[in-house]
Amino acid sequence: MNVIICDVSPRDGLQNESRTLSPGIRAELVRRLAAAGVPRIEAVSFVNAARVPQMGGAEEVLDLVERRPAVVYAGLVLNERGFDRAVSADVDEVHYAFPVTDRFARENQNTTVAHAIDLSRRLALRASERQIRFTVTLSAAFGCPFEGRVAAAEVLRVAEQLQAEPPDELVLADTIGVGVPSQVRELVRGLAKLGVAQIGCHFHNTRNTAVANAVTALECGAAVLDASVGGTGGCPFAPRAGGNVATEDLLYTLHGMGIATGIDLDAMISLGHWLGEQLGRELPSQVGRAGTFAPVAGRGGAHQRARFPASRKDS
């Protein structure tokens, strides 16, 4: 079983934090993620800095990053202006996201689902012309903070319309962390039946279901999983949205199952502690607090002895 981990901590992880990190610190986070072996990084967000000040200076962040050839550096966009900025900044991959409910679409990016679908088709064409990989994320695919539960049929209806000008990848996002494995199974299998080229999933751990959902997604055919070091994350426009699944927690489970990711788990645990220091708080990653334990491997596939954080004390 193969999986691509996309770490979204420089974007989703930081966009809802009370402390705004400088472009230099954010670039250092991106550098450390790449050094730990993360193959894809959502490095920046090309959004209005007046609305999301934590994401200001996206171009500066990318200018400060010394890019590794084997790493994909992606940028999130919410509209055509953001797409233009992303192309000018020479991102490797454009991530366009929109909610599948009109109320959240209006709150999050002042649009409607119908308009967002039309824009997705236009951006897919523009990305193809420029030979830039294009990913679409369907936000609130499992539940909306304003409209409640979202039916799988409605999500699949939106996905089917996108197939008129299909993206390279379609991601299901549980923006407020309400989804459970049975929903994941229905949606991932539904996308596969529609002929979606590559399926990804983005889970938040608001109700402690993210790792179970991620494993289910893989078993049903998803190829990409988003995660955020330390379990940081949340949406400024989605009430009660918790953090993303922690990259460390997800890696521990995948490596324990014998699924190689190419990412150094010990390095990610250390990185989570470093990021917590930058943000001035302890991050929620459970593996970050408890440490690793055999038979989980650093990058998956081999065995190692238990390792605990240096600060851990017996009680």
The residue annotated as part of the active site, out of 144, 201, 220, 235, is 235
9: its two tokens = 């901590």
Cα dihedral 84, 86, 89, 93 sign: negative
CA–CA distance, 179 with 208 (Å, rounded to integer)? 10
Which residues lie closer than 8 Å to 308 by C-beta, 6 or more apart? Answer: 290, 291
213: its two tokens = 């959902």
Q: Clarify whether 6 is annotated catalytic.
A: no
Catalytic site residues? 235
